[in-house]
Structure 1
Amino acid sequence: MTEHDETPSLARAMDYLLGGRANNPADREAAERACAAWPAGDLKQELRSAREALGHMVRQLVGEAGVRQLLHIGAGLPTMHNTHHVAQQMDPDTRVVYVGRDPGVVEHARQLLRQEPRSPTVYVRGEVDDPDRILRDASAILDLTRPVGVLLFGALHFVDSRQDPAGLVNSLVDAMPSGSWVAFGHLATHDREDLMDAALERMAPGWQERVVRRSRAEATALLEETLELVPPGVVALPEWRAEPTADPPGAAAMWCAVARKP
């Protein structure tokens, strides 16, 4: 099978849209088809803005909060200014555990990480709806008696209400000591979300994943039971750490928040 014949991968297509190189022509073609079909705004810019917000959150956890252990669930490929890049620029000894569900993505991610032999970073396979497995595998790398920053950025919008997403968050938080943190990014409801889902499917033909978008109140309810939200609370992506000169935000594409376990 040649590079051109490969089936597009959602993770690799996302990497391309973020400006990375861990992709092939099939991924790039699929990503461009998705961009052309995106019904509102600029998909590529939205994804890059989300990655910038993730970077702000990591800098807040490592820089301001002093956390030196990060657990990123739903990570995709660890490329283009992802969690470990940002965290380890601030402190090279920061431990990072990525969790992904797709075995192909996990193997590709491990290949990429092997090119960074000094990085205290690992990638494990796991499902957000199986927190016990995530915690078991993460505990081989992270000391769960010390504060951990849990990044749920791109994970919970694949969990519907029947799977009790708030309960899953609580299970993860309950296993962490006081002083741990959760950084959160969740897709927001939109009046053209069916067209958005159809555009995303163009990046991965046959992709059967159901995306669950939530209102601000619904997103907030996933965090507020056991966590203390820090300013600015649960806000739309354009408002997260926005510069004073930033353009006024439009319709929310994603909710972002950081919260602390008391």
Structure 2
Amino acid sequence: MASEITGDSPNQDKLLRINTYLPHPARVYDAWLGGKDNYAADREAAQAGLQAFPSTVKSVQANRAFLARAVEYLVAEAGIRQFLDIGTGLPSANNTHEVAQSIAPESRIVYVDNDPIVLAHAQALLTSSNPGVTDYIDADLRDPDLILREASRTLDFTRPVAVMLIAVLHFIPDDADPYAITDTLMKAVPPGSHLVVSHTAKDIFPEEMAVFERTMNENSTEKVTLRDREQVSGFFRGLDMLEPGVVKVSQWRPRSETEASAPAVLWGGMAGKPA
């Protein structure tokens, strides 16, 4: 059962958007991670996904580990101190601000999501270390101009920004031109900025993932469009790709053989914006 949300938060009216009888990707993802902020419909959809691809939970965990490693690199090695994390999802372990501010407390993070459950839990994402800052924007990736406008209240777009698109672009169909959306975001940030993407693959375990895609689209309010490695690589056009390129998220600079061998079905990569 989902945890109860109480209080007179200004976000309370957004809870009216929640339909607990229909599964939502953020809550299905939460169910896979063993969270409590999900409902019966979400758990049923999560179980259907597991039946289609039994290693889904391990793949989701590998994606979270990829996020943590990417943020660690960006802060410790690339010197990034600003993050625009779009498609945040429900608070979990190793959120972007937790990883970034554990290394550089002054890091500034803006989270973006359009799910009312995530919005209701935004306070958990806004816990920040001094002198760091976190903010939350209720917006859809399909409206990058709004995101950039709102994010400019917290982020300085004259200084490098890491744009994090972790397991979110597969919710943007081809007819919504996800590549144009990514281009808009990266045109708005200065040289030295970075783009991080993870995206569910259709060419890793292709037969199982075809069933997974069909199953999830039959059991979720948000439809998914799986893409192959070449298509995911297209999101980095015009940028300088970092080694090891676009790989399974478990194989992007893993810390151990255990991380490297996780059965991930997401492509992941990072690239920098050249001068």
Q: TM-score range by the shorter chain?
A: 0.7 to 0.9
Q: 1:2 to 1:125 in 2, by over 3 A?
A: closer
Q: What is the CA–CA distance in structure 2 between the aligned matches of 1:108 and 1:6, rounded to whole Å?
A: 14
Q: What percent of counterpart residues are identical?
A: 35
> Match for 1:33: what amino acid?
Q
Q: 1:28 to 1:181 in 2, by over 3 A?
A: same
Q: 1:6 to 1:172 in 2, by over 3 A?
A: closer
**Which residue of 2 is the match for residue 107 of structure 1?**
119
Structure 1 contact 17–31 (Cα < 8 Å) conserved:
no
Q: What is the CA–CA distance in structure 2 between the aligned matches of 1:54 and 1:182, rounded to whole Å?
A: 12
**Which residue of 2 is the match for residue 86 of structure 1?**
99
Structure 1 stretches of 4+ with a deviation exceeding 6 A read 1-5
117-126 vs 59-68, greater mean Cα deviation: 117-126
**Which residue of 2 is the match for residue 48 of structure 1?**
61
TM-score when normalising by structure 2: 0.81
Structure 1 contact 109–123 (Cα < 8 Å) conserved:
no
**Which residue of 1 is the match for residue 75 of structure 2?**
62
* DSSP 3-state at the match of 2:236: coil
**Which residue of 1 is the match for residue 209 of structure 2?**
193
> Match for 1:12: what amino acid?
R
Query: Which consecutive residues of structure 2, in runs of 5 or more, have no partner in the other structure?
Result: 5-18
Counterpart check, 1:33 vs 2:47 = yes
Deviations 1:123-157 (A, max 9, x none): 11112121100100100010011000000112211
Q: 1:165 to 1:115 in 2, by over 3 A?
A: closer
Counterpart check, 1:95 vs 2:108 = yes
**Residues 201-240 of structure 1 aligned to structure 2 (within 5 Å):** 207-224=220-237, 226-240=238-252
Q: What is the CA–CA distance in structure 2 between the aligned matches of 1:186 and 1:2, rounded to whole Å?
A: 27
Structure 2 contact 105–129 (Cα < 8 Å) conserved:
no
Q: What is the CA–CA distance in structure 1 between the aligned matches of 2:81 and 2:254, rounded to whole Å?
A: 25
TM-superposed CA distance for 1:241, in Å, is 1.5
* DSSP 3-state at the match of 1:192: helix
> Match for 1:260: what amino acid?
G
Q: 1:154 to 1:248 in 2, by over 3 A?
A: closer
TM-superposed CA distance for 1:79, in Å, is 2.2
Q: 1:110 to 1:162 in 2, by over 3 A?
A: same
Q: What is the CA–CA distance in structure 2 between the aligned matches of 1:116 and 1:27, rounded to whole Å?
A: 33
> Match for 1:112: what amino acid?
A
Q: 1:180 to 1:139 in 2, by over 3 A?
A: same
Deviations 1:148-207 (A, max 9, x none): 0000112211122222222111111111011000111011113233431355468xx6x3
The count of corresponding residues between Structure 1 and Structure 2 is 255
Query: Which consecutive residues of structure 1, in runs of 5 or more, have no partner in the other structure?
Result: none
22-31 vs 117-126, greater mean Cα deviation: 22-31
TM-superposed CA distance for 1:40, in Å, is 2.8
**Which residue of 1 is the match for residue 164 of structure 2?**
151
